[in-house]
Each structure stands twice: as C-alpha cells, then as structure tokens.
Amino acid sequence: MRGDAGFPVRIRFTKRGKVRFISHRDVARAFERAFRIEQLPLAFTQGFAPRPKVSFGLALSVGHESDAEYLDVQLAEPAPLDSIAGALSAPSADAALVSCSPAAVRASAEVSSDMQSFSHDARASGTR
C-alpha cells in the first residue's frame, strides 16, 4: 500500500458458498460498506473526492471459491486487529472468514506484488 502515513493492515478473507458468485467489484463495495458500518478509522486520499485507502489483490473469477483473498487497508489510527476481524466476519459468517495482521509491506508495495505463487484445485463431478 502506498503512502507513509497511517497504519497498514492486511486482511485475509475466504470466498465460499454463495459469495463465490459475487464479482470482485461487488466484494470491494461490500467491504467498503462494512468499514463504514463498523466505523473503522480509515485513512482517506486527499483531493476533491476522498476515497478510503484500500487496495485489493488479484481479482478472482466469478464462480470460483478461494481460501485466501487479500486486501490492504490503511487506518488513520491504530485499532485492535481481533475486533476488526470479528466485526467483518460477523455479518457473513457462512461465507467469508476474515483474519487481520499488521501489513509488513514496503511503502510502494501492492497486495498483488507481494504474491509469489498461487495454485488451482479443480474437481469435476458427474458422469457422461
């Protein structure tokens, strides 16, 4: 996450069940809405239309499940990570498990640049 001010936090979440049919952009909007509802002390961009400093990892195709999706969020002041994870997991306990950690990222690093590898596990069912 770019910027030198604030407290970066890396959030890991899962996309399972019905949530796998939600697009990447809709997941981003849902997290931004959850941040507002939980009144997290987000850091905002400067300028005419300030936006929260949130950076998502690579987009997952619609219909695919994942155990490890990531996003970085920059907070304006420190907050307990356990309470953030609990608050973001509560509304969607059946679909998205959330965990948080202090983001040990370089000042210019994006979530996607920190990923070194990923793997796919495909299963087919049914008979012909």
User: pTM of whole model > 0.85?
Assistant: no
Q: Are 97 and 19 in contact (CB under 8 A)?
A: no
Report how far residue 8's alpha carbon sits from residue 14's, in angstroms, rounded to the nearest whole number: 20
CATH architecture type of domain 7-107 = 2-Layer Sandwich (3.30)
Question: What dihedral do alpha carbons 97, 11, 56, 95 form, nearest 10°?
Answer: 10
Q: Are 61 and 21 in contact (CB under 8 A)?
A: no
Q: How many separate helices (H) and strands (E) can be counted in the chain?
A: 3, 4
CA atoms within 13 A on the CB side of 99: 6
pLDDT digits (tens, 9 = 90+) for 37-76: 888 888 998 889 998 888 888 888 888 888 888 888 888 8
Query: Does residue 103 carry a pLDDT above 60?
Result: no
Residues 121-127, mean pLDDT to the nearest whole number: 66
